[in-house]
């Protein structure tokens, strides 16, 4: 059984595209490119799967072909999905990739911003700040929304350490952010 620890959020299936079963997925990161790069590095013939969360079950579909559509969307052609009616049933659902398709390194947690929900945020100067409640990636600048209403910029340059075992995010925030 596939669990949430086995997958990485790709995006949301926004709509159908054409009448042959293609779907458009609005993506949060260029993960399909990363998965293809890894397959090329390893000269792998292994098929790539995307998983749709259907009725709280992660359902895999073999990816036949895909292409970018704009800066934050993909058009996907999936095995077995060959009609607009079938593709329509996938719309509105969250879409994932398997972590193993993105990294071979078991020590690389391959975290996304959404994975930080529930983490305690600690600033090197200010100390404990709060717990990440949600991630807002609706704009160009991703934000961490804390339980107490504090909003922090989510940027790799601000992160000093990520403790996945202790669910702790150590940051070095610029003066004046808090």
Please state which CATH number belongs to domain 4-101. Answer: 2.40.30.60
What does DSSP assign to residue 46? Answer: P
Which H, E and C letters describe 1-41, residue by residue? CCCHHHEEEEEEEEEEECCCCEEEEEECCCHHHHHHHHHHH
pLDDT, one tens digit per residue, over 80-112 is 999 999 999 999 999 999 888 887 665 555 677
Which contiguous run of DSSP H or E holds residue 161? strand 159-163
| pTM (two decimals) | 0.65
DSSP 78-125: ETT--SHHHHHHHTT-EEEEEGGGT-S-TT-----GGGGTTPEEEETT
Question: Domain extents for the chain?
Answer: 4-101, 113-171
Please state which CATH number belongs to domain 113-171. Answer: 2.30.30.240
pLDDT, one tens digit per residue, over 2-33 is 887 788 888 899 999 999 999 999 986 677 88
């Amino acid at each position: 059984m596939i669990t949430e620890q086995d997958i990485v959020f790709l995006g949301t299936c926004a709509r159908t595209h054409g009448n042959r079963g293609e779907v458009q997925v609005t993506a949060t990161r260029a993960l399909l490119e990363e998965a293809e790069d890894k397959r090329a590095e390893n000269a792998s013939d292994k098929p790539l799967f995307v998983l749709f969360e259907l009725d709280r079950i992660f359902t895999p579909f073999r990816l036949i072909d895909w292409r970018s559509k704009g800066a934050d969307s993909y058009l996907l052609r999936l095995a077995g999905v060959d009609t607009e009616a079938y593709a329509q049933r996938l719309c509105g659902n969250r879409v994932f990739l398997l972590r193993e398709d993105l990294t071979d390194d078991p020590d690389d947690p391959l975290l996304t911003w959404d994975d930080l929900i529930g983490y305690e945020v600690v600033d090197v100067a200010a100390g404990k700040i709060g717990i990440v409640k949600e991630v807002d990636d609706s704009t160009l600048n991703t934000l961490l929304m804390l339980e107490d209403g504090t909003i922090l910029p989510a940027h790799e340059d601000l992160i000093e350490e990520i403790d996945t075992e202790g669910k702790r995010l150590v940051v070095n925030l610029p003066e004046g952010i808090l």
